[in-house]
Amino acid sequence: MNGLGGLNRTPGGVVIGLVQLALPTIETPADIARQTARIVELVGKAKRGMSTLDLVVFPEYALHGLSMDTRDAILCDADGPETRAFAQACRDNGVWGCFSIMERNPHGNPYNVGLIYDDTGARRLYYRKLHPWVPVEPWEPGDLGIPVIDGPHGSRLALIICHDGMFPEMAREAAYKGAEIMLRTAGYTAPIREAWRFTNQANAFCNLMVTANVCMCGSDGTFDSMGEAMVVNFDGTVIAHGTTGRADEIITAEVRPDLVRAARAHWGVENNIYQLGHRGFSAVRGGAGDCPYTYMHDLVAGRYRLPWEDEVRVTDGTSCGLPAPTRPYAPAFKNAAE
């Protein structure tokens, strides 16, 4: 059930629009300004085309394209002319919006940032991508954890970005903190198509959580992004899917956070996120609440190391033309997950 793409929104439902935005070529500040105006235009188009729309989602790299360019001239600030234009577009159209910027970082490489504004233009979520797509992406690893916010119509909403979604721990963390809807924005290209599909479904099913996912679309003459907008229900079924690869197409669906809450409360079999911390509750009262996973203990203790660690050959970005880093990781802020 998706309410005919959101045309028929039920009480408590949330209508999401995923914009398979045409992949731009960005080289100058003027290009950034033009692309900002294009995104603002599409916010209005989305709301006019679907009056029930609650949240419009733009892909990762919607503003900057896939050049991985770190020149200061085309970077953005979290409170800059581009983000102010996005906030104003949400306010003018009475819709929530999710946007992507590459943000200046005075202490290191730029951050890959996702922003969500509500229908009054207030910023409600700021997220720094935790897992850049190494070795290709030069972005600083995020240091703020995964925020979860109150979204439209009482929903609980989280955002992760692209490669983040390949780590099941990311979706689990979002759900553990209460997310009922998890957005995943991306710039992925066609070789990742199958992995994109099954991880979007697994992230939903394993956590009894709706996932709403969208990539850039089309070609900039070098890269070809795939679109592949997907809305996946909490049971892992796909309820909307952009399969045509048509740039600027907006894929819409109604999702039901109330049914997510009901499943989490009433499912016995396959209530996996609950059962992770209550192993074998049919045998022992309340289930086992220990942590039997070596990798979790080692990661927390700072000694994460694979049995084949010494055999790994790609451990920096030099294969993609990036200089080998020399400084160690030093988060600017205390991790929000702590």
Sign of the dihedral defined by the CA atoms of residues 168, 174, 179, 181, in that order? negative
Name the active-site residue from 47, 60, 98, 217: 60
Verify whether residue 47 is a known catalytic residue.
Answer: no
Q: How far is CA 315 from CA 129, 135, 169, 323, 325, in A?
A: 19, 8, 21, 12, 10
Helices vs strands, H then E, count in the chain: 8, 14
Distance of alpha carbon 314 from the chain centroid: 25
Name the active-site residue from 76, 90, 162, 217: 162
Contacts of 193 (CB under 8 A, 6+ apart): 226, 228
Which phi and psi (to 5°) does residue 317 adopt? -95, 15
Alpha helices in the chain (DSSP H): 3-6, 29-49, 81-93, 168-176, 193-205, 257-266, 272-275, 294-301
- Sort strands 55-57 and 14-20 into parallel, antiparallel or unpaired: parallel
Name the active-site residue from 76, 103, 129, 228: 129
- Sort strands 249-255 and 217-219 into parallel, antiparallel or unpaired: unpaired
Verify whether residue 311 is a known catalytic residue.
Answer: no
Verify whether residue 103 is a known catalytic residue.
Answer: no
Burial of 300 (0-12, 13-18, 19+ CB in 10 A): exposed
Contact between 137 and 112 under an 8 Å Cβ cutoff? The reply is yes
Sheet-wide strand order for 156-161: 148-150, 156-161, 181-186, 210-215, 230-232, 238-241
- Positions annotated as catalytic residues are 60, 129, 162
